[in-house]
Structure 1
Amino acid sequence: MSRKISFCVAACLILTSVFAARRSLNSITDLIDCHLSEHTNILELLHWFANEVDVDNHIRLTFDPASDYGSHHYGNFEGMLEPLPWGYQYYTIGNIYEDDSDALPSYVRNPHRNIDDNNRARIIIRVNEGHSGPHPGQIIDQVYITQHSDEGTNYDPDNTYRITPSLLHAIRRRNITEIQQLARRSHRENASTRPQGQPTRYVHEAQYKPSTENNDDFLRRFCYAILVIIVIVALNVCLQNSFK
């Protein structure tokens, strides 16, 4: 009985963790309005990344994600992101204390903004290492931004967002000073309308609304909704069988 209940609970926990990173940021406004932009150096880190990679019909790497700029393999052991298909790998970028991170531009390592922590934000990329095209192993098919949680080294699923190619294109069209100025203006406006004593974090979480969703996001959400229904039904069956 206890084994069946444990299995059902584990299935629900796994599904919940996978759902956490389904939100997409499609525009610079979306990016500025999310919690990470005011409290970390994610604006600067993502600006560097968008201009470092090649963005056309595909997102192509221009550096070694296993070592350059302090990047390294990400195991996804907490199950925050989707399980990897065959031939794919996750990598994380943004630790300014890693070896080779001094190759990052100074505006990433020392952003001229009043933020809480300049080493909390991370970019996670999913790389197709089995790609057999003209540049094998260089195709990025998913980009996420996240931060370390307050509790330790794990990433924060509540502040993990998928970055769309359209946002990368928009970032490439602006210099970092413009984006920082937009962020400062937005954060000042939010602060002026915030009820006295209310933490900044909750204001941004309440205001965050992705501008649009592409068809892939809609289909993915629909599939996961079906999965939720299946898991709930399975949980009910498990519980009913356990008490027979």
Structure 2
Amino acid sequence: MPGFDLPRRLTAEALGTALLVATVVGSGIMAESLTRDVALALLGNTLATGAMLVVLITILGPISGAHFNPAVTLVFALKRELPPREALSYVLAQVAGGVAGTMVAHAMFALPLLDASLKIRTGGAQWLAEGVAAFGLVAAILAGIRFERGAVPWLVGLYITAAYWFTSSTSFANPAVAIARSLTNSFSGIRPIDLPGFIAAELCGSVAALMLMSWLLRAGGVGAAMAREAQP
């Protein structure tokens, strides 16, 4: 991003991902400790995550672009808006920040800093759900940037809030967050062995969204031709 050097951008990516994961994991632990109602616990987890996304993208977006997500970074690298070496640095910062976020959440609740999850999340339906979740997230980001950049924090926060409920996977949509969530044996966890399927689905969904939105958002056809002819 113009005006900010790479170390500051990487710090913003690590910090944002850490706070996002701390919110996901911490609110899951809190919700699970307050109620035995799984739907109510998921609602608490959802609202906290959506709200935090709005905050983080608003305050850190001007610094790094507020990816906080290797799938989003991949999209911007494929769009040639981020050099490959910087994109790799972003991903490493996001994964490191995510793991730190899990550790912070555990520390706040006096739990072991890292605890491999035993929660089973696998199968074709959940992989499809992750692909859909990542597809919708990237579509919302690209269309938001194209038409209403200032609304992107709200678009992302609201999309993830909705996707928690309409996807069978509860919408991880983020490889760095998935890795971090494999290290918490709590409400929001995922078994480490289930990560490859989730990550592959997230990346595929993101690339599919890039392909479709690159065509959809490009002015062309009869309407564009008429607009050009109308210009003096």
Query: After TM superposition, is the score higher than 0.5?
Result: no
Q: Would you tell me which structure has more helix in proportion to its own residues?
A: 2
The TM-score with structure 1 as length reference comes to 0.27
The TM-score with structure 2 as length reference comes to 0.28
Q: Would you tell me which structure has more strand in proportion to its own residues?
A: 1
